[in-house]
Chain A
């Protein structure tokens, strides 16, 4: 059984990624925070006695289910608002060409304001591209690459076959790369 400290450490490690992942899906920071909070509480309440090694999978399943619950409620509540929000675009069509920014992505300690700005813009482009991905592709990409799960774990978390995970991931990477290229970001 996991201790309170282990739960705290686990949540501290995943909470920011979970928030971002949810925010990409629901496109609303406040709703994303509510969903992440719900998922945290459900994990503690229903699966607190499970070993800490099971937490990543359990948390992802809970998070996905909580997001689905939100979508179901949202669909019933306001279908038109949801449809409208999916057409809104926040593209920054500025002159900046962040080609070199991705190439120097690993230089994290740079203090140059210009580089920081460029990097922020690249991150914003990537985040927008992620938001535009189909939900299952985004889910597969995030679990497989950002949460660093293997194919089997991703399949279990998503409730689909390993073949589907591979297909979703491949399509997601290709779509992201194409979107980034379109925005002038080099792979």
Chain B
């Protein structure tokens, strides 16, 4: 294994030496390609600043959430409990109002009034007038 590694390193050493003797036209063409790539990156960044900003923001948010998973989970559970409590309160409040209305409507006349024959006669008499 070591022998293999040493042989590989020797070969690579020679290959590295060969890199310094590249034709000047090839070197110039590589430099030109590099320059184009750098220009393209600059144009790409300028043309999509909003997208990049959005991605960066989302990445930051994701990183933050990942770093504070425990706290974030606890906060999420608390939020769900709070929403459930408020919803329950809203529903039960509605029921109370309905019950109150029903009570008021039903209690317009006390039940004794319907059992009193005199009252029934008085009601008929007064409705004629």
A interface residues (Cβ-Cβ under 8 A, vs B) = 1-2, 4, 7-8, 11-12, 15-17, 19-20, 29, 33, 36-37, 40-41, 43-45, 48-49, 102, 105-106, 108, 119-120, 122-123, 126-127, 130, 141, 144-146, 169-170, 173-174, 176-177, 180, 187
Pairwise interchain contact B37-A105, C-beta atoms closer than 8 A: no
Query: Is the interface on chain B under 10, 10 to 19, 20 to 34, or 35 or more residues?
Result: 35 or more
When distances are taken between beta carbons in the complex, the residues of chain B under 8 Å from A106 are: 13
Pairwise interchain contact A37-B33, C-beta atoms closer than 8 A: yes
B1-26, CB under 8 A of A: which get 1 and which 0? 00010011111111111110111001
Q: Which of A48, A120, A144 contacts B41 (CB 8 A)?
A: A48
Q: Which of A40, A49, A130 contacts B34 (CB 8 A)?
A: A40
- Report the 3 A-B pairs with minimum CB-CB distance, sorted nearest first: A37-B33, A40-B37, A44-B37
Alpha-carbon gap, A120 to B18, bound state (A)? 7
Alpha-carbon gap, A160 to B75, bound state (A)? 43
Chain B nearest CB from A117 CB (Å) reads 12
| Given A173-B7, A177-B7, A187-B7; A20-B44 close (CB under 8 Å) | no
Report which residue of B34, B37, B45, B52 has the largest number of chain A beta carbons within 10 angstroms of its beta carbon: B37
Alpha-carbon gap, A40 to B17, bound state (A)? 23
Main SS at interface, chain B: helix
Pairwise interchain contact A29-B9, C-beta atoms closer than 8 A: no
Alpha-carbon gap, A48 to B12, bound state (A)? 29
When distances are taken between beta carbons in the complex, the residues of chain B under 8 Å from A102 are: 10, 14
When distances are taken between beta carbons in the complex, the residues of chain B under 8 Å from A174 are: 4
When distances are taken between beta carbons in the complex, the residues of chain B under 8 Å from A17 are: 19
When distances are taken between beta carbons in the complex, the residues of chain A under 8 Å from B42 are: 4
- For A147, the closest partner residue in chain B by CB is B12
Pairwise interchain contact B33-A7, C-beta atoms closer than 8 A: no
**Does B29 reach chain A (CB closer than 8 Å)?**
yes
Excluding A49-B52, A106-B13, A123-B18, 20 further A-B contacts by CB distance (< 8 Å) are: A8-B34, A11-B33, A16-B22, A19-B26, A29-B23, A29-B26, A40-B33, A41-B33, A45-B44, A48-B41, A102-B10, A105-B14, A105-B17, A120-B21, A123-B17, A127-B15, A145-B8, A146-B16, A173-B4, A176-B7
